[in-house]
């Protein structure tokens, strides 16, 4: 059902990105010549620039010129106002066939004299300059504000209807931000869930992933909303790179924790190693470095999903299919779009959205599982409560006790009063503890003592309970020691002095605490096994409170029988 | 009368012994108390008894396994138990009475009363009769019984498939256990009345019941009138 609800969202997402395919006619002169230095005559269309650098970008900071050839023909005639969208990592002056048509910032020869222009800028081109034929566009650029860590500066433009792409970009950005808002909300929701409901790492990681993804989208599309000065472009790229790195770290981490695979340490080391290696191989802050990080994340996630499928983890096949689907989609997009500004954005955006939706589905599944587990634990608790009460009103105990009591009343009224007191004492404690999961050990011991008193009147055996080392602060599930005492009574024969002695001791270590009940007597032929009804009750109670962090051991010793309950401290 | 009390709770055993003494008075010849089934059975091997007073749950061991072997014996058994839900099953095995705990003197006296000749029979819920056959105990469904013939301290169980088994209880003892459609027609015969085809009177005032399979059983003169009334001619 979750899949079906998710489909329209994916369809909308694809529609949002595919609007980019609607091509309007624009000229994109990719070939450009670059030369360091600053000479006004380099604006001239007839300049002999055959010895200029064809790479189109420079890693140096300073002054340089970039020259383009652009053709005007019937296509450019369709523009009512021809214009240029310039993307420039430097302040510039633009010359069309040697005529200055616009400026961005102030070109200077030093850091001080240059005033940075914006990364994106728009210039109208006068009609008089766009006659049919090939024209020369030259930019006089200074990039003194570019960082000096080897990242390149460049400068290029589209020839198009004046400011038309700007309108298209804003429309797309508006749509993308609606979706980004969804991730912001999801991030907040899971953060609150983590803070106020269940402290689960996967939930918190997912919240982090949503926030980071929101941040990634916001940073990516900031360029269309905010005409920032070009030096900020490098900062922005580094932020995007940082976010991508964190996402590439967190997404596999999420899957690892969700599928609860063994060797988490090895997985973490290997995946971190891969990401660090990518960071070292590719210069941080470039589009390709972020792309490779995303690719690395995809590969690691795919391996984790594959390992999860092998280990037959629930939903692992779905995640594997989603990841393979994302891989296929990326390949497809890569072929379909070659637009410089968008390749990374679109693949990352679409892929991440699908992945985030799949993760949300996983969390929903887990939440359902937890709800079920919680409900069945409620059932277990009420069943145990029921069992505890039944234990006390079961006919064997109550009817035999009452029959014995009748005899005491008729034969020895004074003793029968003490008998009744013990019985009411036991009843009182039972009704007080019936709905508790844990009770003070001291209350449990009083329960045992009342029970032995009752049994003394019934069996006419001198039951003795010695207690050592008990810490009255401790708590214990109700009627556990009581059950052990009951078993001791049932399976023991009194000694020559008509006694059955029991020793309850308590030991505490760094790792665990341990209750031991020794019954010092002859055992009946039928030894007590660890599988009887009483033991089943004890085991259920221990599981209810401590999960699997306990042991129950019962074995014969020369002087009788010993039962040990060990509870790990970590289970508290 | 010789009593065996099998009860693991000493106070309750003492109570049964004391109340039995009060109820039976001089008629009580001997009382033995066993606190385990094993010692109880050992006593049965040595001594004859008239009545067994049995607790069904002894230190967690179920008395039903042994009930089968015990009800095949000549003596009657009264169950004294806390588990009233087991009463129906106990009756099905042919116990004389089921006394639920806790009990007083009156209730125990009522159970003992069922032993008296001419007293109301047990509630007739017996479904099986246990027969000792070559050391084993076999349960027979009383629905398959045609009639029972007394043979001194034993009884012969005649079944519809013509087979005959010997039961260790006397005809009198069985008469107390069997349900209402088993009628005493003669000092030595109990018949399953649902299988009677007709009553016949032979010359010389000899009365008999003719069964569906043609068996001819004598009816004592004293009972003839009563039976005619009951069976509706």
Tokens of A218: 């916001």
> Does the beta-carbon distance from B11 to A398 stay under 8 Å?
no
Which range marks the domain in which residue B69 is found?
Answer: 2-113
d(CA B59, CA B37) in angstroms, rounded, equals 10
Residue A222 burial (10 A CB sphere; 0-12, 13-18, 19+):
middle
Choose the final residue of a domain: B79, B113, B147: B113
Residue keyed to tokens 């005529």:
A99
Point out the residue among B10, B57, B83 whose CB comes nearest to the CB of A459: B10
- Give per-residue pLDDT as tens, A86-135: 999 999 999 999 999 999 999 999 999 999 999 999 999 998 999 999 99
The alpha-carbon gap from B176 to the nearest alpha carbon of chain A, in Å, equals 28
Residue B18 belongs to a domain = yes
Tokens of B218: 């004598």
> Does the beta-carbon distance from B100 to A399 stay under 8 Å?
yes
What pLDDT does residue B115 have? 81
What pLDDT does residue A532 have? 65
Q: Do B55 and B99 fall within a single domain?
A: yes
Point out the residue among B14, B59, B101 whose CB comes nearest to the CB of A490: B59
As a residue count, chain A comes to: 572
**CA nearest to A503, candidates A550, A460, A456, A559:** A559
Residue B76 belongs to a domain = yes
Which of B9, B56, B80 has the highest number of chain A CBs within 10 A, making it the mutation to test binding with A?
B9
When pLDDT is cut at 50, 70 and 90, the band that residue B19 belongs to is very high
3-state secondary structure of A159: strand
pLDDT beyond 60 at A64: yes
The alpha-carbon gap from B61 to the nearest alpha carbon of chain A, in Å, equals 10
What pLDDT does residue B123 have? 63
**A312 contacts: CB under 8 Å, gap ≥ 6:** none
Residue B212: CATH number of its domain: 2.40.50.1020
pLDDT beyond 80 at B154: yes
Out of A444-448, B88-92, B167-171, least confident range: B88-92
Point out the residue among A406, A407, A524 whose CB comes nearest to the CB of B59: A524
Exposure string (b/e) for A332-358, b if CB count within 10 Å is 16 or more? Answer: ebeeebeeebbbbbbbbbbbbbbbbbb
Q: Which residues of B touch A410 (CB under 8 A)?
A: 15
Q: Do B140 and B95 fall within a single domain?
A: no
Q: Do B7 and B93 fall within a single domain?
A: yes
DSSP characters for A356-385? HHHHHHHHHHHHHHHHHHHHHHHHHHHHHH
Q: Do B158 and B201 fall within a single domain?
A: yes
Residue B127 belongs to a domain = no
pLDDT beyond 70 at A274: yes
Task: Say if A404 is an interface residue toward chain B (CB within 8 Å).
Answer: yes
Kindly report the number of other CB atoms within 10 A of residue B223's CB atom: 17
Point out the residue among B11, B59, B84 whose CB comes nearest to the CB of A404: B11
Instruction: Please compute the mean of the pLDDT values over residues A260-289 and round it to a whole number.
Output: 86
Instruction: Please compute the mean of the pLDDT values over residues A58-82 and round it to a whole number.
Output: 89
Q: Rounded mean pLDDT of chain B? A: 84
What is the ipTM, given to two decimal places? 0.76
CA nearest to A492 within chain B: B59
Query: pLDDT higher for A522 or A473?
Result: A473
Write phi, then psi, for B160 (nearest 5 degrees): -65, -25
Q: Do B99 and B151 fall within a single domain?
A: no
- Give per-residue pLDDT as tens, A285-342: 676 777 788 888 889 999 999 999 999 998 899 999 999 998 888 777 666 554 444 4
Residue B208 belongs to a domain = yes
pLDDT beyond 80 at A33: yes
d(CA A270, CA A278) in angstroms, rounded, equals 12
Which of B98, B99, B102 has the highest number of chain A CBs within 10 A, making it the mutation to test binding with A?
B102
- Give per-residue pLDDT as tens, A401-449: 999 999 999 999 988 999 999 999 999 998 888 888 899 999 999 999 9
Number of domains in chain B: 2
Which H or E element spans position A294?
A: helix A287-310
pLDDT beyond 80 at A273: yes
d(CA A55, CA B15) in angstroms, rounded, equals 113
Q: Do B155 and B215 fall within a single domain?
A: yes
Q: Do B15 and B101 fall within a single domain?
A: yes
Instruction: Please compute the mean of the pLDDT values over residues B140-161 and round it to a whole number.
Output: 89
For chain A, the farthest-separated pair of C-alpha atoms sits apart, in whole angstroms, at: 133
When pLDDT is cut at 50, 70 and 90, the band that residue B233 belongs to is low
Residue B45: CATH number of its domain: 3.40.50.2300
The alpha-carbon gap from B74 to the nearest alpha carbon of chain A, in Å, equals 29
> Does the beta-carbon distance from B14 to A407 stay under 8 Å?
yes
pLDDT beyond 70 at A23: no
Start-to-end Cα distance in chain B: 41
CA nearest to B86 within chain A: A395
CA nearest to B35 within chain A: A459
Q: Do B47 and B142 fall within a single domain?
A: no
Choose the final residue of a domain: B80, B113, B146: B113
Strand segments (E) across A60-197:
63-72, 82-88, 91-96, 99-104, 120-124, 133-142, 153-161
Query: pLDDT higher for A336 or A187?
Result: A187
Instruction: Please compute the mean of the pLDDT values over residues B184-208 and round it to a whole number.
Output: 86
Exposure string (b/e) for B136-168, b if CB count within 10 Å is 16 or more? Answer: eeebbebeebbbbbbeeeebebbbeeeeebebb
Task: Say if A458 is an interface residue toward chain B (CB within 8 Å).
Answer: yes
pLDDT beyond 60 at A527: no
What structural domains and CATH numbers belong to chain A? 2-21+171-372 (1.20.1070), 32-162 (2.60.120.260), 394-571 (3.30.565.10)
For chain B, the farthest-separated pair of C-alpha atoms sits apart, in whole angstroms, at: 63
Query: pLDDT higher for A211 or A148?
Result: A211
What pLDDT does residue A5 have? 56
> Does the beta-carbon distance from A460 to B11 stay under 8 Å?
yes
| Alpha-helical runs (H) found in chain B | 10-24, 37-46, 64-70, 87-92, 105-113, 171-177, 221-231
The alpha-carbon gap from B166 to the nearest alpha carbon of chain A, in Å, equals 36
| Percent of chain A residues topping a pLDDT of 70 | 90
* Interface residues on B facing A, Cβ-Cβ cutoff 8 A: 9-12, 14-15, 18, 57, 59-61, 82-84, 100-104
CA nearest to B57 within chain A: A396
Residue B120 belongs to a domain = no
Task: Say if A400 is an interface residue toward chain B (CB within 8 Å).
Answer: yes
- Give per-residue pLDDT as tens, A460-498: 999 999 998 888 888 999 989 999 898 888 888 888 888
For residue B219, the cross-strand partners are B207
Q: Do B13 and B108 fall within a single domain?
A: yes
Residue keyed to tokens 């396994």:
B65
Residue B121 belongs to a domain = no
Q: Do B210 and B141 fall within a single domain?
A: yes
Residue B62 belongs to a domain = yes
Q: Do B22 and B71 fall within a single domain?
A: yes
User: Rounded to the nearest 10 degrees, how much is the dihedral formed by the CA atoms of B164, B170, B172, B176?
Assistant: -80
Q: Which residues of A touch B63 (CB under 8 A)?
A: none
The alpha-carbon gap from B84 to the nearest alpha carbon of chain A, in Å, equals 8
Q: Which residues of B touch A402 (CB under 8 A)?
A: 101-102
| Percent of chain A residues topping a pLDDT of 90 | 42
**CA nearest to A570, candidates A511, A499, A486:** A511
Q: What is the pTM of this model?
A: 0.58
What pLDDT does residue B59 have? 61
Q: Do B147 and B197 fall within a single domain?
A: yes
Point out the residue among A396, A490, A491 whose CB comes nearest to the CB of B82: A396
Q: Rounded mean pLDDT of chain A? A: 85
Residue A105, CA distances (Å) to A61, A126, A258, A471 in order: 16, 21, 51, 79
d(CA A138, CA A128) in angstroms, rounded, equals 17
- Give per-residue pLDDT as tens, A136-148: 999 999 999 988 7
Q: Are strands A560-568 and A512-520 parallel, antiparallel or unpaired?
A: antiparallel
């Amino acid at each position: 059902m979750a899949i079906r609800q998710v489909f329209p969202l994916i369809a909308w997402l694809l529609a949002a990105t595919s609007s980019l395919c609607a091509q309007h006619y624009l000229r994109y002169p990719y070939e450009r010549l670059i030369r360091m230095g600053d000479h006004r005559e380099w604006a001239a269309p007839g300049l002999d620039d055959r010895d200029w650098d064809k790479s189109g970008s420079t890693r140096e900071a300073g002054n340089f010129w970039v020259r383009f050839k652009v053709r005007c023909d019937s296509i450019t005639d369709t523009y009512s106002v021809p214009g240029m969208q310039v993307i420039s990592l430097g302040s510039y002056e633009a010359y069309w066939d040697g005529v200055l048509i616009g400026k961005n910032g102030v070109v200077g020869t030093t850091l001080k004299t240059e005033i940075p222009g914006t990364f994106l800028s728009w210039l109208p081109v006068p009609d008089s300059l766009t006659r049919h034929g090939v024209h020369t566009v030259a930019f006089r650029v200074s990039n003194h504000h570019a960082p000096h860590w080897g990242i390149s500066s460049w400068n290029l433009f589209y020839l198009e209807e004046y400011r038309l792409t700007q309108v298209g970009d804003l429309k797309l950005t508006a749509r993308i931000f609606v979706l980004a808002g969804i991730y912001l909300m999801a991030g907040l929701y899971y953060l609150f869930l983590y803070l106020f409901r269940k402290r689960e790492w996967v939930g918190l990681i997912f919240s982090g992933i949503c926030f980071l993804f929101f941040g990634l989208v916001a940073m990516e599309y900031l360029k269309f909303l905010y005409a920032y000065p070009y030096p900020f472009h490098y900062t922005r790229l580094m932020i995007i790179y940082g976010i991508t790195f964190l996402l590439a770290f967190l997404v596999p981490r999420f899957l690892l924790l969700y599928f609860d695979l063994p060797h988490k340490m090895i997985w973490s080391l290997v995946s971190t190693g891969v990401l660090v290696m990518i960071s070292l191989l590719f210069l941080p802050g470039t589009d390709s470095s972020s792309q490779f990080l995303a690719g690395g994340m995809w590969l690691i996630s795919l391996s984790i999903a594959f390992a999860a499928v092998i280990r037959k983890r629930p939903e692992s096949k779905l995640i594997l299919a989603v990841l393979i689907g994302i891989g296929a989609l990326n390949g497809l997009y890569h072929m379909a779009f070659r637009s410089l500004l968008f390749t990374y954005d679109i693949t990352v955006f679409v892929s991440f959205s699908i992945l985030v939706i799949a993760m949300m589905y996983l969390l929903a599944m887990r939440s359902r599982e937890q709800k079920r587990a919680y409900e069945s634990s409620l059932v277990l608790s009420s069943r145990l409560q029921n069992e505890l009460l039944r234990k006390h009103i079961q006919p064997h105990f109550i009817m035999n006790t009452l029959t014995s009591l009748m005899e005491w009343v008729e034969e020895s009224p004074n003793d029968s009063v003490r008998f009744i007191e013990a019985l009411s004492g036991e009843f009182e404690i039972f009704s007080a503890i019936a709905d508790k999961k844990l009770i003070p050990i001291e209350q449990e011991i009083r329960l045992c003592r009342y029970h032995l008193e009752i049994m003394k009147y019934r069996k006419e055996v001198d039951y003795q309970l010695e207690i050592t080392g008990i810490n009255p602060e401790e708590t214990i599930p109700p009627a556990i020691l009581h059950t052990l005492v009951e078993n001791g009574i049932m399976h023991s024969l009194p000694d020559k002095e008509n006694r059955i002695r029991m020793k309850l001791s308590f030991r505490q270590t760094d790792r665990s605490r341990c209750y031991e009940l020794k019954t010092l007597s002859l055992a009946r032929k039928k030894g007590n096994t660890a599988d009887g009804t009483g033991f089943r009750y004890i085991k259920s109670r221990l599981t209810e409170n401590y999960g699997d962090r306990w042991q129950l051991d019962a074995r014969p010793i020369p002087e009788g029988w010993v039962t040990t309950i060990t509870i790990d401290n970590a289970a508290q | 009368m010789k009593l065996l009390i099998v009860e693991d709770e000493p106070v309750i055993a003492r109570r049964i012994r004391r109340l039995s003494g009060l109820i039976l008075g001089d008629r009580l010849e001997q009382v033995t108390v066993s606190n385990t089934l094993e010692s109880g059975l050992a006593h049965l091997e040595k001594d004859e008894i008239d009545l067994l007073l049995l607790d069904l749950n002894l230190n967690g061991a179920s008395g039903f396994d042994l009930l089968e072997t015990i009800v095949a014996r000549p003596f009657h058994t009264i169950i004294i138990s806390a588990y009233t839900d087991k009463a129906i099953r106990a009756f099905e095995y042919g116990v004389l009475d089921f006394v639920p705990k806790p009990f007083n003197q009156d209730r125990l006296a009522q159970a003992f009363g069922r032993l008296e000749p001419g007293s109301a029979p047990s509630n007739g819920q017996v479904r099986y009769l246990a027969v000792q056959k070559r050391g084993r105990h076999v349960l027979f469904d009383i629905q398959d019984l045609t009639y029972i013939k007394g043979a001194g301290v034993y009884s012969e169980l005649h079944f519809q498939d013509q087979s005959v088994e010997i039961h260790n209880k006397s005809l009198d003892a069985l008469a107390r256990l069997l349900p209402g459609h088993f009628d005493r027609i003669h000092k030595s015969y109990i018949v399953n009345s649902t299988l009677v085809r007709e009553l016949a009177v032979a010359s010389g005032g000899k009365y008999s019941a003719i069964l569906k399979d043609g068996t001819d059983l004598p009816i004592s003169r004293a009972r003839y009138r009563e039976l005619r009334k009951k069976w509706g001619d």
